[in-house]
Chains A and B, each alone.
Chain A
Amino acid sequence: MTNIIKTTPTDTSLTFECETGNYHTFCPISCVSWLYQKIEDSFFLVVGTKTCGYFLQNALGVMIFAEPRYAIAELEETDISAQVNDYLELKRLCLQIKHDRNPSVIVWIGTCTTEIIKMDLEGMARRLETEIQVPTIVARANGLDYAFTQGEDTVLAALVHRCPEQPSMGSAVQKRNHPPLVLFGSLPSSVATQLELDLKQHGISIDGWLPAQRYSQLPALNEDTYVVGVNPFLSRTAAALMRRRKCTLIGAPFPIGPDGTHAWIKAICDTLKVKPKNLDQRETAMWQKLESYLPNLRGKSVFFMGDNLLEISLARFLTRCGIIVFEVGIPYLDKRFQGAELALLESTCNKMGVPTPRIVEKPDNYNQIQRIRELQPDLVITGMAHANPLEARGISTKWSVEFTFAQIHGFTNSRDILELVSRPLRRNNALENPQMENMMSGVNWANRREWQ
């Protein structure tokens, strides 16, 4: 069943594989957790079952208790068997939400169940919106089609349709010497500001973000607008921007790590015909600041099991840091949207003189565990389901979800990525317990409990 293929050092171009798709990841509805915080006047209604609710409440832990602006419209047996009218039910809940919270926009998150029973969310939202006078948009962030961060992609793609054509009259017309530029991808506002400041140094000012801090501040989009993504999982949003709003997409690696940020800014400057100022120096200075982390990382090996689509960019940055990446598992790879990133990964590998990693789309966690067992990497970046069992088998791990919630974009935050990556290695150096080492080496690799 299991086939273990080792990367040979002669590989110089990227190879792509596809496995069975039996892997662990978060359900894409988890995007409500960061999007409701990002869009301050929104309310997210997940139309799903107890399963969805249970996942959200456990995955998001303490956020539940802070009066969150999201809830589950829990489908009951009567809903499934169409004994009640979906429209009236949703109307009742949305009126209650309007009454209790008065949001500027309600986002319905469609789930597996609404897909299977073919609930016409888009149709109902359009009708309800005019009836209760609250903008209502629909994003089908379900586990049938998407993984984890792709949930944000579906929400942003739905938001694209709500962006105005022309900037509102109130907003000050910015002085600039380049066409309008809009960035897309949800980032904490401080990270967004940092990226804006990085662009400002080269004389580039932006016309807005998708999403903005408030629903009412969505950026204007038209055929003159240039758009650039900040995260690798936003391919549907990019497609919607190009096809529906005729925007021009700037294909660039993503601003993760100093090398990525450099390439991202460079691509924007080149497209907008702006001359970058001291960009190389800026990158070099950043690498010098990272130097304290690098000696401990050089020559170490990393294995990405894959669950959040940030993997290619992180692998590229880590390779540039002198790490050897064995495998990059990834739920879904859009080779067009990630084209520039893939090219940078390949050239980075060549530049660093290391073999290119094996890229495995829709990985199979069971096979991956066999490969990890064979390869014994220094660090496995994986979900929480496998982290403790791998640690017990003497394999250092880093919880992949932290990369989604930590601030990792731009020059400034490169250090935070290395902080995350090097922490398990530092922790292992800090602990002294020879008995523990002996104990852990004996653990069985199968799913079998041998303890009493």
Chain B
Amino acid sequence: MKLAYWMYAGPAHIGTLRVASSFKNVHAIMHAPLGDDYFNVMRSMLERERDFTPVTASIVDRHVLARGSQDKVVDNLTRKAKEEASDLILLTPTCTSSILQEDLALFVERASQTINSDVLLADVNHYRVNEFQAADRTFEQIIRFFIEKNEKSVNPKEYKRTINPSVNILGIFTLGFHHHHDCRELKRLLNGLGIEVNLVFPESGLVNDIPKLKQAWFNLVPYREVGLMAAMYLKEKYNMPYVSVTPIGTINIGEFISQVENILNSLDETQSWNFNQYVKHQMQVVSQAGWFARSIDCQNLTGKPAVVFGDATHAAAMTKLLVREIGVRVVCAGTYCTHDADWFGEQVQGLTNEVLITDDYTQVGNMIARLEPTAIFGTQMERHIGKRLGIPCGVISAPVHIQNFPLGYRPFLGYEGANQIADLVYNSFTLGMEDHLLEIFGGHDTKEVITKSLSNDTGLSWTNDGLAELQKVPGFVRNKVKRNTEQFAREQNIMTISAETLYAAKEAIS
């Protein structure tokens, strides 16, 4: 047992549901007790989704404990197949079904005999993997299933490689940190390189298009948390190369483009691909980040201590960017992706004084308190730690809250992403600087704010219970309530204000 107040990565089924609900026309059925469908709330609220989330539960209740959920699960699978006519129904186990140890695979097999949709059981173990690992696994499982199904079908359709270079983007999905903006920026980048986007998965993809993945020349995995397994499978199966460098920051973008260049040159020896001109143009005209780092303002950031924490992809990329492109000193870089610790360690080696691999937020908080950086780049949690310690924080990674699902265009990837990150970094530090200056010079405004109080000359008095009730009113409206109550009391000729008066006033004044 572990005493836990907060966690960075969610339970396994969340990962599975995020992948399933990103595909078009795929329905997920959770084998779960009442109340476990909180995923629908998150998707509907955070993504401000207009459609019903294609996730329902096959409820586990007392009857199920007594008799098993066999018929119930099969009925629910059959019913959903009829109602939704989904291409795929994914049965998703939860922590509860993990311990019940029912043969869910058998139910899936039984249901699949009577319904037209494909049915799959998500192959994840709640107690062994977290949200990201489960998402990666489920994504690979779906890709593998439809590729193999296509091979088995009577008339295997041959999908030939496209004439022009093309690519699949793997791992854009729902509730991802700035995924939609990143996807748009990636497409723009690829367009600039003259590469067509063959398919994007899983977001808005149709499972029946999965065999068409073969048409692309290679795959892109923008975030290493989800998509890598699928890319490795396709590499093994069709010898499709993949690029898993995350194009965050201009140096990484350069590395990304050069890997793409190498792949294209190795796949098509008749042509010689060279993107130097494109990179040069982007660096000089489109991206302001390179110039920003050399501008005089940015001198002030040199050597400023910062802490970076987040998922492996974003934390590693941000560390590199801060150190090599802006000159900030990263005193500690860390990730909560404990399963990917080795990779992370390699990436930040030589760039930071300390590496912290943990999923315990108190350790992160203690580390920040000890190091006292001038800025933090982390998740929603580090933002709160920063608030408590008075250190500004830029949010660079999930888990995040609704304000990190912005309506405006805010990619992290590509050249526009570099601009966005430069703003984020700069704003975090200047705010910190401003704070210090304010402290030295004693605040923005030295004039005392005179509160509008009507109680000085009234001769009204408050009883103890009245004051006690007043104290229960939240601070930001307390003065208003006090004024209104006193006004009411004066009109009613009440000289002593009790709790009753307070509530009578509340009723009288709207």
Instruction: Write the residues of chain A forming the contact surface with B, with a CB cutoff of 8 angstroms.
Output: 1, 21-29, 49-51, 53-55, 57-59, 61, 64-65, 68, 71-77, 79-80, 84, 86, 89-90, 92-93, 96-97, 112-113, 115-117, 142-148, 188-190, 193-194, 197, 286, 289, 292, 366, 369, 383-389, 392, 411-412, 415, 443-444, 446-449, 451-452
- B61 interface residue (CB < 8 Å to A): yes
B61 touches A113 (CB 8 A): no
B4 touches A53 (CB 8 A): yes
A57 touches B6 (CB 8 A): yes
Q: Which residues of B contact A116 (CB under 8 A)?
A: 65, 96, 99-100
Residue of A65, A76, A92, A444 with highest tally of chain B CB at under 10 A? A65
Q: Which residues of A contact B126 (CB under 8 A)?
A: 49-51
B34 touches A147 (CB 8 A): yes
Interface segment, one of B40-48, B149-157, B222-230, B310-318: B40-48
Chain B interface category by residue count? 35 or more
What residue in chain B is nearest A448 (Cβ atoms)?
Answer: B25
A-contact 0/1 string along B223-267, CB 8 Å cutoff: 000000000000000000000000000000000000000000000
Partner pick for A142 among B2, B13, B33, B204, CB 8 A cutoff = B33
What residue in chain B is nearest A444 (Cβ atoms)?
Answer: B51
Asked whether A59 and B507 contact (CB < 8 A) given A50-B11, A193-B469, A389-B49, the answer is no
Asked whether A385 and B53 contact (CB < 8 A) given A190-B472, A447-B84, the answer is yes
A144 touches B503 (CB 8 A): no
- How far does the Cβ of A267 sit from chain B's closest Cβ, in whole Å? 22
Residue of B41, B61, B76, B499 with highest tally of chain A CB at under 10 A? B41
- B184 interface residue (CB < 8 Å to A): no
Q: Complex Cα distance A292/B509, Å?
A: 13
Q: Which residues of B contact A385 (CB under 8 A)?
A: 37, 40-41, 44, 53
Q: Complex Cα distance A188/B507, Å?
A: 18
- B161 interface residue (CB < 8 Å to A): no
A452 touches B204 (CB 8 A): yes
Q: Which residues of B contact A22 (CB under 8 A)?
A: 56-57, 59, 76
- How far does the Cβ of B380 sit from chain A's closest Cβ, in whole Å? 9
Q: Which residues of A contact B5 (CB under 8 A)?
A: 64, 68, 71-72
Q: Is the interface of B mostly helix, strand, loop or mixed?
A: mixed
- B105 interface residue (CB < 8 Å to A): no
Known: A50-B95, A289-B507, A447-B51. 19 other contacts (CB 8 A): A26-B38, A28-B35, A50-B11, A51-B11, A55-B36, A59-B41, A71-B5, A77-B127, A80-B98, A116-B99, A193-B469, A193-B472, A197-B499, A197-B503, A369-B52, A385-B40, A386-B52, A448-B24, A448-B51
Instruction: Write the residues of chain B forming the contact surface with A, with a CB cutoff of 8 angstroms.
Output: 1-7, 10-11, 13-14, 24-25, 27, 32-38, 40-42, 44-45, 48-54, 56-57, 59-62, 65, 76, 79, 82-84, 94-96, 98-100, 126-128, 130, 204, 384, 387-388, 401, 469, 472-473, 499-500, 503, 506-508, 510
Q: Which residues of B contact A188 (CB under 8 A)?
A: 472
B4 touches A74 (CB 8 A): yes
Partner pick for B506 among A93, A286, A412, CB 8 A cutoff = A412
16 A-B contact pairs sorted by A residue (CB < 8 Å): A24-B37, A24-B41, A27-B34, A27-B38, A61-B401, A64-B5, A71-B3, A73-B4, A93-B1, A113-B95, A113-B96, A147-B34, A388-B50, A389-B52, A443-B50, A448-B24
Q: Complex Cα distance A145/B96, Å?
A: 14
- How far does the Cβ of A409 sit from chain B's closest Cβ, in whole Å? 12
A51 touches B94 (CB 8 A): yes
Q: Which residues of B contact A24 (CB under 8 A)?
A: 37, 40-41
B37 touches A193 (CB 8 A): no
Q: Which residues of A contact B40 (CB under 8 A)?
A: 24, 385
A143 touches B33 (CB 8 A): yes
A190 touches B469 (CB 8 A): yes
Q: Which residues of B contact A197 (CB under 8 A)?
A: 499-500, 503
Q: Complex Cα distance A369/B76, Å?
A: 17
B1 touches A112 (CB 8 A): no
B45 touches A366 (CB 8 A): no
A389 touches B1 (CB 8 A): no
What residue in chain A is nearest B388 (Cβ atoms)?
Answer: A65
